[in-house]
């Protein structure tokens, strides 16, 4: 046959993090040096993929640190969630971060961005959620956030043995919010966020 056959290689960091094993199996595999493919590792992999994309664009992101859950040891860096309506691809992410070298995310931070948001400078040492609702365009020239953040904390033995909901038991931890900065614009329009965190609408 003269048919041409091709294939595409895709970095594992950006696409292969299955959640298929229970927490006991995940712990056993982790102890053997094998990828655990449990709920905790799958969730951490999503955060890591987003952190890696940010680093590739020049953002300063803290390194991951080893944490220990019932499912075994797990590297956990800043918990970064980039919604598809913010950046469904690297090309779109590059457009959204207008000065990546001026963005810094410290260890223990959590960041969630969704919607039509353009970010220039960010110094984050804590927890931050940015939401631009339907019909909203939000420009953030410069933002500094420092707070007590959110923390991933291991379940107690009692919680792991049935006292906690299943969605927590399959991970072995819960996310505890101590402080969370919320930047939300819900009414359609174009806004700029000032350094003192006020939303200023663009005048027609």
Closest to 78 in 3D by CA, of 94, 54, 114, 42: 54
pLDDT in tens, 161-185: 999 999 999 999 999 999 999 999 9
pTM: 0.91
C-alpha span between 160 and 178 (Å, rounded) = 22
Cβ–Cβ < 8 Å for 191, 164: no
Residue 203 pLDDT level (bands cut at 50, 70, 90): low
C-alpha span between 67 and 70 (Å, rounded) = 10
pLDDT in tens, 30-60: 989 899 999 999 999 999 999 999 999 999 9
Residue 6 pLDDT level (bands cut at 50, 70, 90): confident
Question: Is the predicted pLDDT of residue 188 greater than 70, yes or no?
Answer: yes
């Amino acid at each position: 046959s003269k048919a041409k056959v091709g294939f595409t290689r895709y970095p594992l960091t950006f696409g292969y993090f299955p959640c298929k094993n229970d927490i006991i199996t995940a712990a056993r595999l982790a102890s053997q040096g094998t990828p655990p493919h449990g709920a905790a590792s799958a969730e951490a992999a999503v955060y890591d993929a987003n952190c890696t994309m940010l680093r590739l664009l020049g953002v300063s992101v803290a390194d991951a640190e080893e944490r220990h859950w019932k499912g075994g040891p797990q590297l956990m860096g800043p918990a970064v969630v980039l919604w598809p309506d913010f950046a469904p691809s690297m090309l779109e992410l590059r457009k959204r971060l207008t000065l990546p070298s001026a963005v810094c995310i410290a260890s223990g931070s959590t960041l969630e961005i969704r919607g039509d948001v353009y970010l220039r400078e960010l110094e984050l040492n804590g927890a931050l959620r940015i939401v631009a609702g339907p019909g909203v365009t939000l420009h953030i020239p410069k933002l500094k956030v420092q707070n007590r953040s959110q923390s991933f904390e291991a379940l107690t033995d009692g919680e792991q043995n049935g006292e906690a909901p299943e969605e927590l038991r399959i991970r072995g931890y819960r996310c505890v919010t101590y402080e969370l900065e919320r930047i939300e614009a819900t009414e359609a329009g174009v806004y700029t966020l000032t350094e003192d965190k006020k939303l200023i609408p663009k005048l027609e």
